[in-house]
Every structure is written in C-alpha cells, then in structure tokens.
Structure 1
Amino acid sequence: MFFTVEKQGFGGAVAPPRSPQGAWGRLVAVTGQEGAWRPRLRGFALCLLWCLCFWLAGCDGPALKGDDLSQAREAVSQRQWSLAERLLERYLRESQDSQDADKRWEAWQQLLVVVNAAGQEPRASLEYLETMQEEYLDDDVRSAVILKRMAEVYEGLHRYGRAVDMWSAYIGLGGLSPQQVLEGYRRLAAMQFSLRRFDAGEDTLQQCLALPLPDHDKIMCMYDLADQNMARERWQEVSGLSQQILDSDPDQSVRGLAGYLLADALEQLGKNGEALKQFELARDAYPNPSVIDNRIAHLRKKLKK
C-alpha cells in the first residue's frame, strides 16, 4: 500500500515534472536510435528470463533428477528429512502398485522412519499407515507389520479403544508365528484391562491359554492373568495361577515374577509364614532383589510379634 503525504509550508524548490517518456525517452533523446535499441533490450530481457528459469530449476535439482528412491536413500543417510519425505511421497505416488512391490514396501518403511526422525506428530505416521493398510489389505505378512505399528502408535496416544481394534485385527491374520500370536493376545488383553474391560481381558487371556501351542510358550499369558487378578485383589486366583506357573518349570526370570506374585498373594491371605518362604525362594530370580529384601524384613518383624 502506498501513502501520499502532503507536506505543508515547504519552501524548497519544486522538482521539475517528469517527462512522460521516462527513461526510455531520455535514452532515445541521447542516442537518437530508438529503432536500434528496442531489439537489443528485448533480447536482453529474454536472456534474463531464461536465466531466471534455469536458476529456479537448479534450486530443486537434487529432488528432480535421477531415481527418487535412490535419492531418498541418500537424503536419509544425510538426515535431510524434508527432502527425503518429498522424494518418497513422489515415488509412491508415481510408481504403479504392481511394479517392484519390494521397492514400494521399502519406500513406505523409509517414509515412516523419516516421519519419526523428523519429530512429526504421531498422527502423521497414522495417516501413512492407514494408506498402507488399504494397499496391503490382501497381504497378511505386511498387514501384520502395519497393524502392529498402528496399534503401538494408538497405545502411545492413549487411544486404547483403537489399539484394541488393531490388535484384534492382528491376531485374526493368517501366517503369524507362535510368538506373534502370543504377543497379539497379550497386548490385546493389556489394552482391554487399560479400558477396565476386565471380563474381556480375562477372556482374551483364556483364549491365549487355549491355543494349540506348548504350555511353556503360553506361560506369559498365564502370568498376565495372575497379574491382572492381583490388580483386582483376587488373591486366591493369584495364588493358584502363580503356583501353576512355578510347577511348569519356567525360566528363571518368569520364576522370579511368579514367585513374587505367589508370596504377595499369600501375605494378603494372612499366610505370612508361607509368604516369607516364597519371597526367599524368589529373591535371587526377581529383577529387583532389594524390593523383596524389604518384604522379607517386614514379614520377619510381623512373625516376631
């Protein structure tokens, strides 16, 4: 916006009026060669225009030359997140779904890495993941990766209802390994408990225990069930489940965890002597022995009274 300011009381000299011909008129007046100058100026202006076009194109050089996926790999290695994201988006947009499926999958994975590394909101990852979910709807192997990633993002956002949806879809996929199946059931139950859907969470863990897998593999589902019963102060159920775990000859780490639950439940049931014995048995296998040391000291004082 231009402002016109009228100065009053200005006593200086008045500037002479500008010639309507302006600079061009003065140039012609000096040279007297209007016809000769016009083509030269037009050529000069055209040259400047071309230079400007080449300069603008050069500014985007790394993004517009060569194979986008290769350029994106290089950009990722250089931590040029914005450029990498732009290249990957264009590669995915312009490549056909049927052409080199492995490269498309790599591009999607790289895009998720870039979004996370650039510190964008988790919702940005979800937008890409939702698009991936549609593209790989008929590919159970890749759908498993996508659904797990979506569930974890929703968990981080405390959107446990959506996380339940993702884990429910995950365990329904074909071709999952036993470890993937067990993880899916455990994570689903954990989200249901977070939503205080206790009966649903318990049903999920019971389904896990009914899977046609070796008992040793399913032991953590039983531990989760005991742990959730502990949170609900169902001491007798905790005691029974923990004892079943210990009787199954579990790994040392599981033995320590189950032993702690059993000892805690026995103390809550008023069986202090048995609780002290179980705490002592679990001490060396428990991840944090000092916690058990405090419980042992407390029980010994109680038993002396």
Structure 2
Amino acid sequence: MHTLKALFLTAVMLWCAACGGQPVDADLKAAREQYSQGYYLQSETGYERYLQRNPQGEFRKEAWNRLLNIALNIKGDLERSVSLLEAMSLEESHDKLERWKIMYQLGDIYMQLGKRSKAVETLEKSLMLAEDMPEQTVKTQLRLARIYRLQGNYDLVMEALNNCAESASTNEDKATCLYELAQSYSLINNWGLVRKALEQLLALDNVDEERRAMATFLLAEAFEYAHDYDKVRSLLESIRETYPNPKVVEARLRALKGQK
C-alpha cells in the first residue's frame, strides 16, 4: 500500500514537472522570502537568477513585477525601470492589455526622466494597443494631451482631447475629457470654445458633483470674460455648497459687487 502511494506521488511530481507546474525553484523561493522580509537587494539577485534559468517559468511575471518594484519604488532607479519595462513588453507581446499597461507606465517614466519625445512615442504606441478598450484609450489620450500641452502644441492637445471625448464609454470619462479640453482652450484665451466644451459637459447625466461644480466655476470665468456679470453671479451662486473650496466662490462673488 505504501509502495503504491509512493509511486503515485512520484508520478504526480513527474507530471507536474512536465507540464510546467514543478515545485518552486530554490532561487524563487529564497527571493520571495527575502522580499517579504524587506531584503530587497538579495531578493533582486534571486529573481534575476530565476528569470535567467527559467525562460519558460510560470512565475516570470511575478519576478518581473518584483524587480520593477525594487527598481522603481525601492531604489528610485528610473533608467533601470525603463530597461525592465522594455524587456517586459517583449515578453508580453501576446497580451494587448498587459502590453498596454507596460507601455503606459513606460511613457510615464520617460516623462519623469524629462524625455518628452520618447514619452510621446511610447504613449502613441500604447494608444494603438488600446484600440477597442475605451477606458485605456481615454487614459492614454489624456496623458498624451498633457504632454502636448507642456510642449505648447495646442493643435495636438485639442485633437487628443476631442478624440478622448468621442472615445469615452461613460459620461464620467467624457466629462473628464471635456473639462481638460475646456481648460486647454482657456490657456489660449479661446473662451467661446471653453463655453462650448463646458456646456456639453454640464448637459451630461451621472457626472460627479465636484466635477460639475468645477466646470461651472470655469464656465463662470468664461462669462466674466464676456462681461456677462449677471450670468457669472448666477453660476457662482449655484455652486456655493458644492465647489471644493467655497471660500473661493465667496471671494469671487464679493469681487463682482458693483459690476453690471
């Protein structure tokens, strides 16, 4: 009976090894323990060895993510993080969503490094990966728009944000795109288009109350630019209780006294 049980267990272990579900590699086991105890440099070496020795290992994603966390959040090594993400993107080439996540994060790190052109190039690739994924498309377009704005390229800003609003699958995402669009138009003093974007936003249902209040505040600014002070007062009065900082609204209302 004991012999049959031993043979059965041996057969199971051999089957697991053949299907890739082998017992945890010693390097990986040690790396996990060291990571959980905060010995990150030692665990880094173990995860690296695991990746080198197990090109088809089932825990490679865990190893890559732990190495990235050590590089990015423990060491603050952005250049190393870039190298890891680039390698990860090649390994995840079969999974569009995972590759989008990697490329989106890579674009963010390029921005932290001050490499705006490289960030744009990477995010444009992530935008292609996000096709048929509205949430990821919106996030990428918003990030691209902010970089274009830093570059002073307002044609691309407006194109990205208009596409963002069209791509949005929820009113909340659409409102975010329209608010960013209105803010961008305000930076170039195109107050007519500020009003148009904000009026579209305020016509949407199921939009966060704070977002609606902020949009109303910016719309009041657009009407103030047009010297329509009655409309400004009406808009500001409507958000006395909902604007994130009511004192700002009160100060604006006081400043309007005497304006006709």
Per the TM superposition, whether the score is higher than 0.5 is yes
Partner of 1:75: 34
Q: What amino acid sits opposite 1:271 in the alignment?
A: D
Partner of 1:108: 64
Partner of 1:24: none
The separation in 1 between residues aligned to 2:154 and 2:122, in whole angstroms, is 19
Q: TM-score, normalised by structure 2?
A: 0.83
Partner of 1:59: none
The separation in 1 between residues aligned to 2:112 and 2:214, in whole angstroms, is 26
Q: What amino acid sits opposite 2:114 in the alignment?
A: H
Q: Which runs of 5+ in 1 are unaligned?
A: 1-65
The separation in 1 between residues aligned to 2:259 and 2:168, in whole angstroms, is 45
SS at match of 2:215: helix
The alignment yields a C-alpha RMSD, in angstroms, of 1.9
The separation in 2 between residues aligned to 1:115 and 1:85, in whole angstroms, is 9
Partner of 1:57: none
Q: What amino acid sits opposite 1:166 in the alignment?
A: T
The separation in 2 between residues aligned to 1:222 and 1:116, in whole angstroms, is 33
SS at match of 2:193: helix
Q: Is the 8 A contact 2:165 2:173 kept in 1?
A: no
Partner of 1:95: 54
Q: Is the 8 A contact 1:256 1:284 kept in 2?
A: no
The separation in 2 between residues aligned to 1:173 and 1:271, in whole angstroms, is 46
Q: What amino acid sits opposite 1:269 in the alignment?
A: A
Q: 1:103-124, CA deviations, whole angstroms, 9 ceiling, x for partnerless residues?
A: 1011100111112343232111
SS at match of 1:229: helix
Out of 219, 235, 250, the residue aligned to residue 278 of structure 1 is 235
Distance 1:213 1:251, change over 3 A: same
Partner of 1:200: 156
Q: TM-score, normalised by structure 1?
A: 0.72
- Give the CA deviation at 1:134: 2.1
Alignment of 1:156 onto 2:112:
yes
Higher relative contact order (CA 8 A, sep 6+): 2
The separation in 2 between residues aligned to 1:188 and 1:163, in whole angstroms, is 9
Q: What amino acid sits opposite 1:226 in the alignment?
A: A
The separation in 2 between residues aligned to 1:205 and 1:276, in whole angstroms, is 29
Distance 1:82 1:165, change over 3 A: same
Partner of 1:134: 90
- Give the CA deviation at 1:216: 4.9
Out of 184, 188, 194, the residue aligned to residue 140 of structure 2 is 184
Q: Which runs of 5+ in 2 are unaligned?
A: 1-24
Alignment of 1:231 onto 2:187:
yes
- Give the CA deviation at 1:261: 1.0
Larger radius of gyration: 1
Q: 1:229-280, CA deviations, whole angstroms, 9 ceiling, x for partnerless residues?
A: 0111111111121122112233212211110110011111211221121112
Q: What amino acid sits opposite 1:282 in the alignment?
A: I
The separation in 1 between residues aligned to 2:196 and 2:252, in whole angstroms, is 21
The separation in 2 between residues aligned to 1:165 and 1:109, in whole angstroms, is 23
Identity of aligned residues (%): 28
